[in-house]
Amino acid sequence: MTVRLAMLFGGRSGEHDVSRRSAESILAHLDRDTYDVTEVLIERDGQWRVNGDRATFAQALRTLGDQDVVFPALHGPYGEDGIVQSMLEWLGVAFVGNGVFASAAGMDKPVTKKLLVADGLRVAAGVTLRPDEELSSRDRERLGLPVFVKPARAGSSLGVSKVEQWAQLPAALRLARESDAKVLVERAVRGREIDVGVLQHPDGRVEAGPPLEIRVANASFFDYDAKYDGGAVFDIPAQLDSGTTRLLQDRAVQAFHALGCRGLLRVDFFLPDPEADHGTEWTGDHREPVINEVNTFPGFTAASQYPQIWQRAGVGYSALLDILIQGALQRRDTAFPCPSPC
């Protein structure tokens, strides 16, 4: 039986192009004998297109509601932050990936940090600045240099700066606030940058993939250009001892549950340099990995970490899509056992 699937992509955020590239890769790997695909594009200005034709919002909603499952390949605000997920929940249609709460919480970096810390996980020290707030002298002393300045609710490293002198802070804040008025200033963690992908199977089993280490050749950190223009090298699996690998995988699954995730998650860690001073906020074992960020819908482009992690684990791109789609359909059948929304 053919599954009616809508590929939802584009969006109004600064990650519109990344979303289109993710969708392009997904569409290229979907089995067209299994899936009857409808392409639903959200333009940068919020206009909708269905299979290339302009559509009203009402027409787009009807199209989405008529599907068996929606695959929202959206990144950033107005797509990955719970807004679209809320709409799909209201339509009563199955959709791939995280629900409203996990999407909203995972998009907001300070909120994510609070939830992770409440579950006993380690994060870097940071300060949240709201509009017109500046970093106090006390917080400057506590955080030290260097720091990273990040929009609180944006992805793909858009608007992120590394500040190595306090004189650079005003410009970094201005750049971050171009993406979000709420900004996170975070102590830099010296150490290895490791990503772990988490995948939930249709039977509910949650699995962490092999750790991936990021090595950046020509940038001071893993910025937008390094992510999408080939400026980084991924080592999969990362060269780690078995105990450290298990620890990272366990912490990634713990983060998945702490945020109430479903379907998938990518957890970005720093494995601290044991000789580095990471401050006094953490009172536990300083070998404990530091969670940098989470991504509730990681990139699915050809250059993206998440598909590569699972490819290395023996789950090909097409098989990965099948797992995510079947999981969404399974959750939908459990929530709505009747043929239409009850």
Q: Are residues 283 and 303 in the same domain?
A: yes
Amino acid at 32: R
Say whether pLDDT at 222 is over 60. no
Does 51 share its domain with 83?
yes
Q: Is the pLDDT of residue 337 over 70?
A: no
Q: Which of 13, 15, 25, 103 is catalytic?
A: 15
The answer to whether 156 is annotated as binding is yes
Name the residue among 217, 319, 231, 229 with its Cα closest to residue 17. Answer: 229
Q: What is the mean pLDDT of the chain?
A: 92
- Binding residue per annotation — 109? yes
In a domain, 195, yes or no: yes
Furthest-apart CA atoms within the chain: distance in Å? 64
161, 199: one domain: no
pLDDT reported for residue 220: 58
CATH of the domain at 242: 3.30.470.20
> Predicted confidence band at 334 (pLDDT cuts at 50, 70, 90)?
low
> What confidence tens digit (pLDDT) does each residue in 255-298 have?
999 999 999 999 999 999 877 655 546 667 778 999 999 999 99
Q: What is the mean pLDDT of residues 89-93?
A: 97
- Quick one: tokens of 217? 């050749």
* Domain extent at residue 175: 126-187
Picking from 95, 112, 145, the residue at the C-terminal end of a domain is 95
Average pLDDT over residues 69-83: 95
User: Does 190 appear as a known binding residue?
Assistant: yes
Q: Are residues 224 and 236 in the same domain?
A: yes
Please report the pLDDT score of residue 216 as a whole number.
Answer: 81
Q: In the 8-state DSSP scheme, what is residue 240?
A: -
In a domain, 250, yes or no: yes
Does 103 qualify as catalytic in the annotation? no
Distance between CA 48 and CA 247 in Å, rounded? Answer: 44
CB 266 within 8 A of CB 198: yes
Residue 86, annotated as binding a ligand? no
191 is in an annotated binding site: yes
What is the pLDDT at residue 141? Answer: 97
User: CATH no. for residue 63?
Assistant: 3.40.50.20
Q: Tell whether 7 is covered by a domain.
A: yes
For residue 336, pLDDT beyond 60: no
Task: Please count the structural domains in the chain.
Answer: 3
Mean pLDDT of all residues in 288-314: 95
Residues 111, 241, single domain; the answer is yes
Same domain? 212 vs 89: no
Report if residue 36 sits inside a domain: yes
Q: How far is CA 141 from CA 144, 166, 275, in A?
A: 5, 11, 20
Is residue 111 included in any domain, yes or no?
Answer: yes
Q: Among candidates 153, 119, 155, 122, which has minimal Cα distance to 257?
A: 119
Q: Residue 68: is its pLDDT beyond 50?
A: yes
Lowest mean pLDDT among 38-47, 114-123, 235-244, 272-281: 272-281
295 is in an annotated binding site: yes
Query: Residue range 176-197: average pLDDT?
Result: 96
Mean pLDDT of 36-58: 98
Residues contacting residue 195 through CB under 8 Å, at least 6 positions apart: 211, 212, 213, 214, 266, 267, 268, 269, 305, 309
Q: Strand pairing partners for 235?
A: 213
Active-site residue 304, yes or no? yes
Q: What's the one-letter identity of residue 44? A: R
* Average pLDDT rounded to a whole number, residues 96-121: 98
Asked if residue 338 belongs to a domain, the reply is: no
Residue 342 has a pLDDT of 43
Same structural domain for residues 82 and 215? no
Binning pLDDT at 50, 70 and 90, where does residue 223 land? very low
Q: Which residue has the higher pLDDT, 220 or 214?
A: 214
CATH of the domain at 144: 3.30.1490.20
**Where is pLDDT greater, at 85 or 232?**
85
Regarding whether 71 and 20 lie in a shared domain, the answer is: yes
Q: 172 and 205 share a domain?
A: no
The number of residues making up the chain comes to: 342
Q: Compute the Cα dihedral for 149, 151, 153, 157 and give only its sign.
A: negative
Is 314 marked as a binding-site residue?
no
Q: Is residue 334 part of a domain?
A: no
- Would the pLDDT of 128 be above 60? yes
Query: Stretch 198-214: mean pLDDT, rounded?
Result: 98
**What is the pLDDT, as a whole number, of residue 218?**
63
The answer on 203 and 288 residing in a single domain is yes
Report whether 153 belongs to an annotated binding site: no
Confidence (pTM): 0.91
Catalytic (active site) residue 136:
no
The mean pLDDT value for 232-239 works out to 95
Per-residue model confidence (pLDDT) at position 144 = 97
Q: Is the separation of the CB atoms in 72 and 95 below 8 Å?
A: yes
Strand segments, DSSP code E, in the chain are: 3-10, 35-42, 48-50, 53-55, 69-73, 94-95, 126-129, 147-151, 161-163, 183-187, 191-200, 206-208, 212-216, 232-235, 264-272, 290-295
The mean per-residue pLDDT over the stretch 212-233 comes to 67
Residue 219 forms part of a structural domain:
yes
**Alpha-carbon distance 236 to 209, whole Å?**
10
| Same domain? 110 vs 206 | yes
Residue 85 has pLDDT above 50, yes or no: yes
Which is the catalytic residue, given 103, 156, 161, 179?
Answer: 156
pLDDT at 224 over 60: no
Residues 198 and 226 in one domain: yes
* Burial per residue of 302-315, b for 16 or more beta-carbon CB atoms within 10 angstroms, e otherwise: ebbbbbbbbebbeb
Is 219 annotated as a binding-site member?
no
